Amino acid sequence: MKKVFMKRLLRPICIIGFFLIATVTKSNAQSTKLINPILTGFYPDPSIVQVKNDYYLINSTFSYFPGIPVFHSRDLKNWKQIGNVINRTSQLDFMGERMTRGLFAPAIAYYNGTYYVTCTDIDHDGNFVVTAKNPAGPWSNPVRIPQVRGIDPSLFFDEDGKGFIVYNSDAPDNKPLYSGHRTIRMYEFDPVALKVIGEEKQLVNGGVDISKKPVWIEGPHIMKRNGWYYLYAAEGGTSVNHSEVVFRSKNVWGPFVPYENNPILTQRDLPADRKNPITSTGHAQFVDGPDGKTYAIFLAVRPYEGDFYNTGRETFIAPVEWKDQWPVINPDFKEVQYSYPVSIKEQKEKGTLPQSGNFSYTLTFEKELDPSLLFMRKPDSSAFSLSKEKGLSLKLKPETIMDFGSISFVGKRQQHLFNTIETKIDFVPADTNEIAGLTVFQSETNFYFVGKSIKYGKELVQLFKGIPGKKQMELLKEINLETKAPGLYLKIIAAGDTYGFHYSLDGKTWNLLKDKADAKFVSTKTAGGFVGCIYGMYATSSGKISDNTSSFIFLKYTGKDSTFKE
């Protein structure tokens, strides 16, 4: 009788205890929003790897240096740049290359205590692999893989430890049936010797359905889930027809069967006049989130009109649903969303610049450069210095941003359609060929440049515009400065399809140099190539030797787009 009484007494206590545990568990499963893009600005071709509770993400950088940024996160929302894969000039040489060449589509993988990055140096070294024990670096010198002929190599490690390298390559027998006809091929790969093994095998010819002449099957990845090998890749080219498609097989060597409902991600069929469009989606990679659900990291763009955008191809995220053991990206919506509510506890990264949403920051240059700052091709250590008093000092070099060499240039990505970039420059020009200031740079021919110079003994502020097809600049406007003084403040305001250029002598009272300059001129669509706009602190002596130096005291960035809402 006593035992029965105790059981009846314990039952409500157990129920109450269960309720309390469930309540606590529910409260711990905090909800947050993943804000798109997760990396704003020119961060294309994302690749991601999960190692325990840590996520590491990398992007293409083309001919900018340092190359291939490495980001860390624990929640897929907050990202901190912890290093760069190519951070020594001895690793790779981009000299003589256009800024849109260089490094294409890196991929990151992890196996048995080692991190691997495969990539394509499009003009010189071809496909290569680098390794590191710590994703923050240092990374090894590149090891070339000459047998892998094509672009976009990525590694897959199977459960038995075997490695494979999969990539985009030529049409069969180098005889394309149509423009854009490509294949996906694979070798077995030795992760210790860093060499291919055996013979190459073709996995996909053309794309999902070669009778429809699919173009540019590229950016391939392989993953294994529930006994299936999934081969997924971009298809349709990197512009508005971009998409992601998937195949599967019970054997890593195939045959791979395409999903009947391909593509699993695209925005090409949506109305062109929709509000705040996200377009050109593709080049995806899957990863399991902290909540155990699958997510896709992929590239997309935010045009302000048609296919015109200046922020470059950016890194986005969307949930993945498995339907009949097939992955479908963004299953609940036709349009990729600017935010997704998720049951993931947010873990902010300390000591890093913001990467998504609306934000502002000010960079000073006392001890070291932020890892997100970029040089053109190769930094010249003798041409720049940092100090508390002078900030970033750039020596005036003969090379200009129209040249293919090492330029006195340090840049930061444009990360919003609507933003302001501001700097203070201390500079006393000695001759008419000397000028230093800020540039909005898209390519060697498509750029704006506002700077301080001198003419007829008078200091002035000038605005230039590149001339496509010529190694020349067009002078748009110049204004004599009222007084001779070293200091000058410069500001560029981006407003979607226009830029405004301003100057000030005291940093308080601003004067308009030119308003509503055409932003389409420096869009990716107009300039061509694969990069986005970079705001550059830049100094040149325009072909002549000079001992003069300009100093940039700070760089202040503020970006605010209406699409970013928490």
Which residue in the list 45, 244, 422, 561 is annotated as catalytic?
45
Minimal CA–CA distance to 438: which of 397, 475, 478, 410? 410
Tokens 């291919």 sit on residue: 196
Which residue in the list 75, 121, 218, 349 is annotated as catalytic?
218
Give the Cα-Cα-Cα angle 356, 362, 366 (nearest 5 degrees): 130
Q: What is the 3-state secondary structure (H, E, C) of 355-406?
A: CCCCEEEEEECCCCCCCCCEEECCCCHHHEEEECCCEEEEECECCCCCCCCC
- Cα–Cα separations (whole angstroms), residue 113 to 53, 109, 116, 134, 141: 15, 11, 10, 9, 18
Q: Please state, in angstroms and rounded to a whole number, the distance separating the CA atoms of residues 214 and 412.
A: 36
Query: 283 exposed, middle or buried (CB, 10 Å; 0-12, 13-18, 19+)?
Result: buried
Question: Is 190 a known active-site residue?
Answer: no
- Cα–Cα separations (whole angstroms), residue 272 to 267, 275, 307: 10, 9, 9
Task: Judge contact between 242 and 281, C-beta under 8 A.
Answer: yes
For the beta sheet containing 294-301, the strands, ordered from the edge strand earlier in sequence to the opposite edge, are: 279-288, 294-301, 314-323, 326-329
Residues linked to residue 318 through DSSP beta bridges, in sequence order: 296
Minimal CA–CA distance to 119: which of 39, 45, 196, 189? 45
Tokens 């377009």 sit on residue: 279
Q: Which residues of 361-400 are buried (b: 16+ CB within 10 A; e: fewer)?
A: eebebeeebebbbbbbbbbbeebbeeeeebbbbbbbbebb
Minimal CA–CA distance to 494: which of 557, 566, 540, 553? 557
Question: Is 45 a known active-site residue?
Answer: yes
Tokens 């990398």 sit on residue: 58
Which of the residues are catalytic?
45, 218
